[in-house]
Amino acid sequence: MAAAVANGDKGFEVPKLEIKFTKLFINGRFVDAVSGKTFETRDPRTGEVTARIAEGDKADVDLAVKAAREAFDHGPWPRMSGFQRGRILHKFADLVEQHTEELAALDTVDAGKLFAMGKAIDIPGGANLLRYYAGAADKIHGETLKMARPCHGYTLKEPVGVVGHIVPWNYPTTMFFFKVSPALAAGCTMVVKPAEQTPLSALFYAHLAKEAGVPDGVLNVVPGFGPTAGAAISSHMDIDKVSFTGSTEVGRLVMEAAAKSNLKPVSLELGGKSPVIVFDDADLDMAVSLVHMATYTNKVDLSDYPAVPSEIMCTSTICSKFSSILHINSAILQGEICVAGSRIYVQEGIYDAFVKKASEMAKKSVVGDPFNPRVHQGPQIDKDQYEKVLKYIDIGTREGATLVTGGKPCGENGYYIEPTIFTNEEMSIAQEEIFGPVMALMKFKTVEEAIQKANSTRYGLAAGIVTKNIDIANTVSRSIRAGAIWINCYLGFDPDAPFGGYKMSGFGKDMGMDALEKYLHTKAVVTPLYNTPWL
């Protein structure tokens, strides 16, 4: 039995959408690419062309960096008080919220994200991140040092300079503000390269930033491709730092290019293959609902999954309106999230019952047009990702994993795939990042075995633990090598909680005050005390 498909359901209204911004944004103006080239962005619901976007490459990155360098070296932004920058960021956030529906629609036609989810979570969450760092902008300060010598010493926190941000396609809005918000608060200037699949909302945000009062040259947006625009940012001698979110393979290339140019610091948020460990004392219905959400989505509708108590569900994607988010009418995304809990380890006492209930829940999921409020799961981002997920499903079958449910395409148009569950013993689908709606379910006996299995991966981005035993929760959370551990919840994101990985999931944090530190240098200043010999 396959998941229900709602592609043909026309009992809903698709908002009218005008694509307003398709050019590069450099030095406060929308401009054509130097080469005059454009590329297509396609609607994953249908595969049809949505718009033609100016294609930036090295020449355009050079122009954007020149504008950003001028704005940093001679412009007002780094020299404003933190209070002044904060006021502009607050206005930026207000403008984002005023255009919530339009921006959510842009991310739907660009990335296939659920429209209701975008309106309730992604866009307000971006505004909330701006406000978080607006509040931090006037609280950046150094320390007074207790010197061992007869000297007065203190530190200054100064913006790192021109930053290159390379943003992925799965969360166009969230990832844009993960990077831009703290960098703006710190006083940096920047060049942003959105993913070629999802440039539309980034260009709109550039327009809103200018309207809010961000000076020309501070925020530049150059859509383009990784081997051209992305490579130019990574290797540019006049960029002082690069922040990248994407695959581990591309992260290596970014780091190598940065090292070969001016040794600029790099922060990398890379791939993941996150485990969720369910112990046999867990409430079975709650655990199945939580794992379903962890694998296939980044938020869940509690009216669809009532077994999950609201007091333990940390499903907010950086949105502070916590309680109201949990009841929006959208449940599943398409598994395209770096922290997807797709390696599920269930203790043997409840394993068989868990597999049965998880399969039943997957079969109830409605796959279809993300503008349809009845739909739980939208399409994959594009044809390449769609084919990659189907290839991994085929690999799982050929390697001997048992296909419990799903595993097939959905609908006649677009890039839809059924929610899929395999049971297996540590095959490729349980080790490699698929970035699609595929769950691998495995059995364990002891706490020690669960820890060993959870750590048996090159990644270390996140992990989930489901248990009523506080001793087990504490022991396992301290033993798993991952940057975020969520106990009896999943996707416990918050603006104040740093997020970033261990091992080959990268280094450097987004969100929290740790993210602000990425965009600051520490300078030590020392002065001999009056009438004190220096030597």
Q: What is the CATH number of the domain that holds 110?
A: 3.40.605.10
Question: Are 70 and 218 contained in the same domain?
Answer: yes
pLDDT attached to residue 333: 52
Please name the amino acid found at residue 520.
Answer: L
pLDDT of residue 14: 83
Residue 425 annotated in active site: no
Are 314 and 501 within 8 A, CB to CB? no
Find residue 243's DSSP bridge partners. 165, 267
Whether 324 has a pLDDT exceeding 50, the answer reads no
Contact 33, 221 (CB under 8 A): no
Q: How far is Cα 535 from Cα 169, in angstroms, rounded to an integer?
A: 57
> Does any domain span residue 315?
no
Same domain, 500 and 396: yes
Asked if residue 32 and residue 173 are part of one domain, the reply reads: yes
Output helix, strand, coil percentages for the chain, rounded to the nearest 5. Answer: 40, 20, 40
User: Do residues 278 and 253 share a domain?
Assistant: no
Give the pLDDT of residue 376: 85
Among 174-178, 331-335, 485-489, the minimum mean pLDDT is found in 331-335
Look at residue 519 and give its three-state secondary structure.
coil
> Cα separation of 7 and 102, whole Å?
22
Same domain, 223 and 365: no
Domain that holds residue 77: 25-39+51-270+510-522
Number of folded domains that form the chain:
2
- Is 480 within a domain? yes
Q: Please indicate, yes or no, whether residues 198 and 228 belong to a single structural domain of this protein.
A: yes
Report yes or no on 535 lying in a domain: no
pLDDT bin (cut points 50, 70, 90) of residue 374 is: confident
Give the pLDDT of residue 535: 58
Cβ-Cβ contacts under 8 Å for 209 (sequence gap 6 or more): 92, 218, 219
pLDDT at 410 exceeding the cut of 90: no
Could you tell me which residues are beta bridge partners of residue 52? 40
**Same domain, yes or no: 215 and 191:** yes
Residue among 491, 332, 340 nearest 418 (CA): 332
What is the residue-averaged pLDDT of the chain?
A: 89
Confidence at 434, pLDDT banded by 50, 70, 90 = confident
For residues 168 and 435, what is the distance between their CA atoms, to the nearest angstrom?
12
Of 269, 336, 418, 517, the catalytic one is 269
The dihedral through the CA atoms of 361, 362, 365, 371 has a sign that is positive
What is the per-residue pLDDT for 352?
Answer: 95
Residue 527 lies in a domain: no
Tokens representing residue 174 in the block? 């969230």
183/280 same-domain check: no
Cβ count within 10 A of residue 143? 12
For residue 519, give every residue at least 6 positions away whose Cβ sits within 8 Å of its Cβ, in sequence order, or none.
159, 160, 163, 182, 183, 185, 186, 188, 241
Q: Is pLDDT at 300 greater than 60 in this prediction?
A: no
pTM for the structure as a whole: 0.89
